[in-house]
A and B are shown apart, each in its own frame.
Chain A
Amino acid sequence: MAGVLGTSIKRREDPALITGRGKYTDDLKVEGMAHAAIVRSPYAHARIRGIDASAAEALPGVLAVLTARDVAAAGIPGVVPVGWLLPDLKTPAHPMIAADTVRHVGDAVAVVVAEDRYIARDAADRVAVDYEPLDAVADVVAALEERAPAVHDEAPGNVAFDWEIGDREAVDAAFAQAASTVELDLRNNRLIPHAIEPRAVLASYDSSTGEMTIHMTSQNPHVHRLLMTLASLGMPEHKVRIVAPEVGGGVGSKIHHYADEAIVGLCSMKLDRPVKWTATRTETNLTDAHGRDHSTHCALALDADGRITGLKVETAAAMGAYLSTFAPAVPTYLYGTLMSGQYDIPAIHCHVIGVFTHTAPVDAYRGAGRPEATFVVERLMHLAGEATGLGPIEVRKRNFVPADAFPYQTQVALAYDSGNYGPAMDRALEMIGYDDVRGEQASRRSNGGRQIGIGFSSYIEACGLAPSAVVGSLGAQAGQWESADVRVHPTASVTVYTGSSSHGQGHETTFSQIVADRLGIAPEAVEVIHGDTDLVQFGMGTYGSRSAAVGGSAIARSVDKIIEKGKKIAAHLLEASAEDIEYEDGNFRVAGSPDRALGLGDVALQAYLAHNYPDDLEPGLSATSFYDPSNFTYPFGTHVCVVEVDTETGGIELLRYAAVDDVGNVINPMIVDGQLHGGLAQGIGQALWENAVYDDSGQLVTGSLMDYALPKIHNLIQFELDRTTTPCPHNPLGVKGVGEAGAIASPPAVVNAVVDALAPFGVTHIDMPLTPEKVWRAVNA
């Protein structure tokens, strides 16, 4: 149906979800279902001397208590693997259940299965674990100190990897010749993902068939099946079905393969019964892979004209106690490669040390490496604007990759396919009324009282990791394509089977728009199936803003194949040559003879009847595509934030937030805006409120929502959004992805605004989150 692409049709997912009819994993109930509770270490680092489960086992209703011994006795691999390898990466084993040593608060030491979850919880409290507490280190910098407690004997100095990209010598030369330099020491604060739905799993093993069905909170069921069968449970892949029912958000945390889901699978196998486990909020906070947690020194060299000549970055990135699924990729290939930002930088060097700490693992979380990189680049650009006297706008414009320079090869591997950075910034300035805001700032500065500041962030994102061969050469243990099987039914309605599994994005709506637009039918005639390894061929899942660009492109390709086949069928029926058949608005027409036409339904019916059919064609009207993009996509934009700072208390109030994003062609503007709103809330949350804090003994101090401050609606303001459109040149839809843009762009915009407001007080940097006390102390320093 023409015009369906690029329109804000309402999300078809919503009626079920907002009326409470959506079925999430914890809503599922099956006959004979038992419940698991996991016994977790209260220590960040301890030796397990012994476990006495007798009191738990004696509780009526308890079915089993399993420990590492049972994992060993089961003869299964029993580990949680890492899925991205770097050169010389230390990969100490991550056992499903800790055998002799626990390495973070929340590490699993035993599991109780009982008839109901209350009994399971009661029994878990009765499992007596004899711990010998050991010294722990939770801080990423402290973990690198000489006498820091070792997280793993296999990783001396707690170094998981030592990685670099770029040209150190060229950067040193640039700094030696620089007219001016700026530098910064910063911490990128550790975040807890907080998917609204906690992780959950219902594993149902049937010994009579040897098959197991696992319903779980997954962003990528096929990847979970692979890791679960290969590394954890040792089951044949074809005997395991993983289903992701409704999934209540993930923001990265449900990409990863965790011990808990494997433990519950083992429980089901041992008991030959379905077993369910749903994390409490406390458990998700202790065990979901966290995000960010960098300590960084960075510096920028500029020539006398304010052009950047060099950028150097030294980062220590926390990995936590174990290497989570994609953890090593996040502060390396998703971070160092983004250091050119929107700028033409002739020399870049980025050196990253991955550090084991006695904390929850750190892995991909909305943005994954790109927010950290953007924070480095955009904070430095703010300082460069001050140091050169050019100000935040001119220093950026002077260094933007020019619109005629694309494709642009950066010094850090990525080749930007397209871009046009100036117009996005100009539009943002226009929206914010830049001169007026500066005027207001000047009058506040002369009158005292609450100060206002303006902060910029001109960001680049790299979405849809690709192509597979390149990603594989960088260490990925998975491909980065996506699949789509599109089936046109005899009555011309369509079912799409996509490997891109939705967990709130609205795939069912947007993917139906893609099919409807290309096939010239109503979106209501398209059903989208995802999140089930038995139904869907194979898929890589939903993360890294890849679904539209990679998953959507696979669907477009399949539709194109169907149209090609349909033309052959139509040509046969219309007694014309296939080359002469045109497809438009759901009709196959003979070129030049508009009355010789057949509807999609006529062709589809004949494809299945095959009564009057070309000899050389197979019946049926469906097509499968495995789309492997030729490059990443590169969304970009400029965000401008205006804040008011109460200098008496350090309190910050958001006044304005304007975001101009270029995400390429837009499938559904409402959903794109929604993604931006969510991402902005998270990024502003990181800048102002969110912080996962461990104390020196490795206890998570911010273990509940009473202490960990998620942004709430009354903390935020109406975002002012607009777009420029530079279509992606290398995929069939011209789309680029939008899931992470808000979270990537906004932290430096907010921090730059606060620092700008406090410039008269000599404040040049405050580490996130900008809590009032920190701001107040900076003002009074």
Chain B
Amino acid sequence: MYPAQFDYRRAGSVDEALGLLQEHEDAKLMAGGHSLIPMMKLRLAQPPVVIDIGRLDELKGISEAGGSVRVGSLTTHAEIAASDVLAAHCPVLAEAAGHIGDAQVRNRGTIGGNIAHADPGSDIPPVLVLLGASVHLQSPSGTRSGAAGDFFQDLLMTDVGEDEILTHVDAPALGAGTGAAYLKFEHPASGYAVVGAAASVTVHHGRCTAAGLVVGGVDATPTAVDVSSLIGTDLSDDAIAAAASGLSAEDPIGDIFASGDYRVHVGKVYGKRALAAARDRA
């Protein structure tokens, strides 16, 4: 596996990285390199310049303030999976990160690289959409943010502009009475999710007051399921199964391992199980 020739530049700061992006047309940013490098080795990607942002400490770290958690884009999956802050305030994100690849992948791969690559079988996107997280971007002209639900636009396509760097993700901490879960049906070869179901429910005095379900792997982008029928119920198994069966996709992804129909079916089953797990944690 030998990539085509490319130049390598290592950025010392976000500003320098933004400058290098401006300077080099078709340059690619590299964080952990776990999506980009395999594509380069297969020559599916042949960027003339690779800008390594992997050592930018300013984009690393996990913190909590005012009911919201912030995860820097260069934070590794391993750090997210093991984070005390997330364990206390948003454990479902750590749970999903723990499902990514293997230990070596989790030690190198980053949340920013993961969501900027936007593989439909990625574990993080459905969780961010479920949480109503915001994705923060920086360009030479300033910063902006958008909802995770709008960030994932299509297969391997996101809202990141050519001159932008993804800096961090903010997600609301899970409040009292809220439980959330991520369940993964793993592809035996790639380790990506054939289906990944992220669910949350909030329970007050035995009644559901809020519920969410987002399923990855079924469609090009995470698919939100309308589970508002659960609100006001006691989250019985039947109510949950009925709510999860609302999953649909117009043109679901299919391959030799799992057809589109089958993915939708498994999405419903895993959606049901994720909701039940969230209920049990609420």
Contact = CB atoms under 8 A, between A and B. Distances in A.
B105 interface: no
Interface in A697-721: 701-702, 704-710, 712, 715
Nearest to B273: A648
Given A118-B2, A122-B4, A773-B258, A648 B269 contact: yes
B44 to A, nearest CB: 11
A693 interface: yes
Interface size class of A (residues with CB under 8 A): 20 to 34
B189 A708 contact: yes
Interface string B262-274: 1001100110000
A385 B216 CA distance: 43
A707 B269 contact: no
Contacts of B269: 648-649
Interface string B246-282: 0000000001111100100110011000000000000
A131 interface: no
Contacts of A475: none
A771 B257 contact: yes
B121 to A, nearest CB: 10
B42 interface: yes
A648 B266 CA distance: 8
Contacts of B255: 707
Contact of A773 (B5, B43, B189, B262): B262
B104 interface: no
A709 B189 contact: yes
Interface string A88-117: 000000000000000000000000000001
Nearest to A695: B256
Contacts of B5: 118, 122
Contacts of B189: 689, 702, 705-710
A649 B53 CA distance: 41
Interface in A141-182: none
B1 A701 contact: no
A496 B97 CA distance: 52
A281 interface: yes
B188 A689 contact: yes
Interface in B207-263: 255-259, 262
Interface string A116-129: 01100110010000
A117 B2 CA distance: 8
A651 interface: yes
A773 B257 contact: yes
A281 B1 CA distance: 7
Contacts of B4: 122
Interface in A612-660: 648-649, 651
Contacts of A773: 257-259, 262
B197 to A, nearest CB: 12
A117 B269 CA distance: 49
Contacts of B262: 772-773, 776
A207 interface: no
Contacts of B43: 125
B39 to A, nearest CB: 11
Interface of B: 1-2, 4-5, 42-43, 102, 185, 187-190, 255-259, 262, 265-266, 269-270
28 contacts: A118-B2, A122-B4, A280-B1, A280-B2, A282-B1, A282-B42, A648-B269, A649-B266, A649-B270, A651-B185, A689-B188, A702-B189, A702-B256, A704-B42, A705-B190, A706-B189, A707-B255, A707-B256, A707-B257, A709-B187, A709-B188, A709-B189, A710-B189, A712-B188, A771-B257, A772-B185, A773-B259, A776-B262
Given A651-B185, A704-B42, A707-B256, 18 more contacts: A121-B2, A122-B4, A122-B5, A125-B43, A282-B1, A282-B42, A648-B269, A649-B185, A649-B269, A693-B256, A702-B189, A705-B190, A707-B190, A707-B257, A715-B188, A773-B257, A773-B259, A773-B262
Interface of A: 117-118, 121-122, 125, 280-282, 648-649, 651, 688-689, 693, 701-702, 704-710, 712, 715, 771-773, 776
Identify the 4 closest CB pairs spanning chains A and B, nearest first: A709-B188, A709-B189, A121-B2, A706-B190
